[in-house]
């Protein structure tokens, strides 16, 4: 008999709970077999829609779910006793799981019947995605509490989905992706074991509910070998370190979103074949096949995909599963000398890196020291350099750039979905109305209990459930814990990355222009790289900061999650010659004008403002018309060329010929 196909998902959520609910029900009707919920950045980082940092971010990269009423609407008419729901949520995972449980109970569903996954991998947030709220120690405590709670109360739930996906997006090699994901698993499992919350005889169940969420790049043979290596390493770690005897509990269970890093703005139709090849890497090998697959859309490098684009990605999966003969055979790579050699190479390299991290004190210590972040920034920098030199070919970008006009992108504004311009105002009105109708004293009492118990070693899940039922919001829950746990700012990894040894003619010429311009102005050129709002995708900002430093700039980069006022204050304090903003969340049309206004008010409106990100062409032209000096998008892959343009703008602003 053929194997059953994997769970088929699309990663979706936008604007509002009601609109996202309608989208989910349409997708399920088209044959999707599981839900993958995308939450907006305020929900992910513990802010309500009306918080200052939420401006421009509400409903952009996902759906705003700040309170129980929104969770009810999100899953209205979707039976949660039969649905497998994946929630891409990390720092606020405990809060979202608590709301999901209460919403299910209101449907009459016992929590023991719930199945799904909370991503809940906080380690990778410090390394790549940037949606952390608290420091590593309290974050690990919340994860530990959640795992202990689900083992006894929601036994079919996967409370932790260790996410190597974003590690690859941040530049990880296959070896680094394996090593850092597995050291994260070790850190969490050690924490659960040492907490004493799970009896030793139940610990196998903890291990058996840990899942992984991985990335699959276009080098699909290497990616398939990576997954075979992943399975063998996980089996060895769980058997030898944790004494797990049941082979089923040692099995690597993973879902996958194939690579978005390699999707291109140039000739975006080529992304379809990239996505298919990446899907093959995690489906061809029966012994290392994904349990769930979600595919990006062909136009994600241009902006937000439309429902039709998501349907196309779902159909790619369905054609492979139901039209091809893939599921009719045992593992087709068993016994391959070539495959075995590559798998062994990856295992050997990963073990060496795991040992290096463990010798430092484990994953948390390697995060706090900046080691892992620096390693990823360095790997990503090397990858970018290979693309710029042409050593690594990207079709349509640095090779085979000649093209016929594409009917898919003839209307660029119509080729992507436009976010609802009223989504933020509606969400702000909704959360304020929610606060008005609840029992405030019950909310206050629940948050006080949460804070009291956060100062002890009590499991925080029950206090969180009480806050959900009382009507607290995500911002209030996270704010109460911030008062106990404090704020945290992760290392950027930029300062420790080695400089380019051989600059080459192009970079050497730019260095000379930077030096000469600095001499003419009587000081070294200073360039501020800023990340306004809640967008934690810092890879591009980090690479720009590294290249600007290598070009001779003095670089000011303070990391993610800054208000426009904080960015402008730093620009004034450091007396910079140019300000660069990196925004990939779609909030550029709100945040860029805010920064411009703050610069004008601070008296530095003549300093060139450069913007980079996933920005539609029409938005780029509007920003340039409003005074932005230059706008760069993913098609502008030559970072040294970008540095040269920044020098041009500095010279123009200072009337240098």
Catalytic residue list: 11, 165-166, 531, 535, 537
For 336, other C-beta atoms within 10 Å of its C-beta total 13
Give the Cα separation of 556 and 398 in Å (integer).
30
* Residues with Cβ within 8 Å of residue 643, at least 6 apart in sequence: 507, 510, 514, 547, 548, 551, 553
Return phi, psi of residue 556, to 5°.
-110, 110
DSSP 378-442: HHHHHHHHHHHHTSS--BTTTB----PPPTTSSSTGGGSBPPPTTHHHHHHHHHHHHHHHS-HHH
Strand runs (DSSP E) across 515-623, as ranges?
526-530, 554-557, 578-583, 609-613
- How many angstroms separate the CA atoms of 531 and 537, rounded? 9
Angle at 159 between CA 155 and CA 163, to 5 degrees: 145
Q: How many whole angstroms separate alpha carbon 55 and alpha carbon 53?
A: 6
- Look at strands 609-613 and 578-583 and give their pairing: parallel
Three-state DSSP class for 643? helix
Rounded to whole angstroms, the Cα distance separating 190 from 362 reads 10
**What are the beta bridge partners of residue 530?**
581
Quick check: 540 and 546 in contact, CB under 8 A? no
Burial class (CB within 10 angstroms; exposed 0-12, middle 13-18, buried 19+) of 206: buried
Return d(Cα 134, Cα 143) in angstroms, integer.
Answer: 12
Contact between residue 363 and residue 372 where contact means Cβ atoms under 8 Å apart: yes
Residues 6+ apart with CB under 8 A from 189: 206, 207, 210, 241, 242
Which of 275, 291, 295 lies closest to 283, judged by CA?
Answer: 291
Q: Give me the helices (H) in 30-173, please.
A: 41-45, 68-74, 93-106, 123-124, 136-153, 165-169
CA–CA distance from 327 to each of 5, 230, 292 (Å)? 7, 21, 14
Q: Provide φ and ψ at 129, rounded to 5°.
A: -90, -30
Task: Report phi then psi at 55, rounded to 5.
Answer: -55, 130
The string of DSSP letters for 232-251 reads: HHHHHHHHHTT----HHHHS
């Amino acid at each position: 008999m053929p194997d059953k196909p994997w769970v088929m998902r699309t990663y979706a959520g936008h604007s509002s709970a009601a609109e996202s609910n309608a989208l989910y029900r349409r997708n399920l009707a088209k044959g999707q077999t599981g839900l993958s919920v995308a939450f907006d950045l305020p929900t992910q980082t513990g802010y309500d829609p009306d918080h200052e940092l939420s401006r421009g971010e509400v409903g952009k990269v996902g759906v705003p779910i700040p309170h129980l009423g929104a969770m009810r609407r999100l899953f209205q008419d979707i039976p949660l006793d039969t649905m497998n729901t994946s929630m891409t949520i990390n720092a606020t995972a405990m809060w979202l799981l608590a709301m999901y449980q209460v919403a299910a109970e209101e449907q009459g569903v016992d929590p023991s019947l719930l199945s799904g996954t909370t991503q809940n991998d906080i380690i990778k947030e410090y390394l790549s995605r940037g949606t952390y709220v608290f420091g590593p120690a309290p974050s690990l405590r919340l994860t530990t509490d959640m795992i202990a709670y689900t083992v006894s109360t929601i036994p079919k739930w996967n409370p932790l989905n260790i996410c190597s996906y974003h590690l690859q997006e941040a530049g990880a090699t296959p070896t680094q992706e394996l090593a850092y994901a597995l050291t994260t698993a070790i850190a969490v499992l050690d924490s659960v074991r040492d907490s004493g919350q799970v009896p030793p005889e139940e610990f196998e169940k903890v291990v058996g509910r840990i899942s992984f969420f991985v990335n699959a790049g276009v080098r699909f043979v290497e990616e398939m070998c990576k997954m075979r290596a992943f399975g063998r390493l996980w089996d060895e770690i769980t058997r030898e370190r944790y004494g797990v005897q049941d082979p089923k509990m040692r099995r690597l269970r993973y879902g996958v979103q194939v690579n978005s890093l390699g999707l291109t703005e140039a000739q975006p139709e080529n992304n379809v074949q990239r996505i298919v090849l990446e899907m093959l890497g995690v489906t061809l090998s029966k012994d290392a096949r994904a349990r769930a697959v979600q595919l990006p859309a062909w136009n994600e490098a241009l902006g937000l995909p439309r429902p039709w684009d998501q349907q196309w990605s779902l159909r790619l999966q369905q054609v492979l599963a139901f039209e091809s003969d893939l599921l009719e055979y045992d593992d087709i790579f068993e016994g391959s000398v070539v495959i075995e050699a590559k798998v062994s190479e990856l295992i050997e390299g990963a073990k060496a890196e795991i040992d290096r991290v463990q010798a430092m004190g484990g994953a948390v210590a390697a995060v706090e020291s900046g080691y892992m972040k620096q390693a990823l920034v360095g790997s990503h920098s090397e990858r970018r350099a290979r693309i710029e030199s042409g050593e690594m070919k990207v079709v349509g970008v640095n090779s085979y750039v000649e093209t016929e006009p594409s009917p898919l992108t003839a209307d660029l504004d119509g080729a992507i979905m436009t976010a609802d311009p009223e989504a933020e105002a509606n969400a702000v009105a909704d959360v304020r109305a929610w606060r008005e109708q609840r029992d405030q004293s019950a909310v206050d009492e629940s948050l006080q209990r949460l804070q009291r118990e956060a100062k002890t070693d009590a499991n925080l899940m029950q206090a969180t459930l009480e806050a959900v039922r009382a009507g607290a919001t995500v911002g209030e829950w996270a704010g109460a814990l911030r008062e106990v746990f404090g704020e945290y700012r992760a290392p950027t990894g930029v300062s420790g990355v080695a400089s380019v040894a051989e600059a080459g003619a192009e970079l050497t010429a730019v260095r000379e222009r930077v030096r000469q311009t600095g001499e003419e102005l009587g000081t070294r050129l200073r360039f501020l790289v800023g990340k306004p709002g809640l967008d934690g995708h810092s890879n591009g900002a980090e690479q720009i900061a590294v290249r600007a430093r290598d070009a001779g700039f003095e670089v000011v980069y303070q990391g993610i999650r800054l208000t426009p006022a904080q960015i402008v204050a730093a620009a004034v304090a450091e007396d910079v010659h140019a300000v660069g903003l990196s925004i990939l969340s779609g909030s550029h049309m709100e945040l860029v004008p805010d920064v411009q206004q703050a610069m004008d008010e601070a008296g530095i409106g003549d300093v060139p403002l450069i913007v980079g990100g996933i920005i539609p062409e029409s938005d780029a032209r509007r920003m340039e018309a409003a005074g932005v000096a230059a706008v760069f998008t993913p098609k502008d892959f030559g970072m040294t060329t970008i540095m040269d343009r920044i020098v041009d703008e500095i010279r123009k602003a200072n009337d240098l010929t």
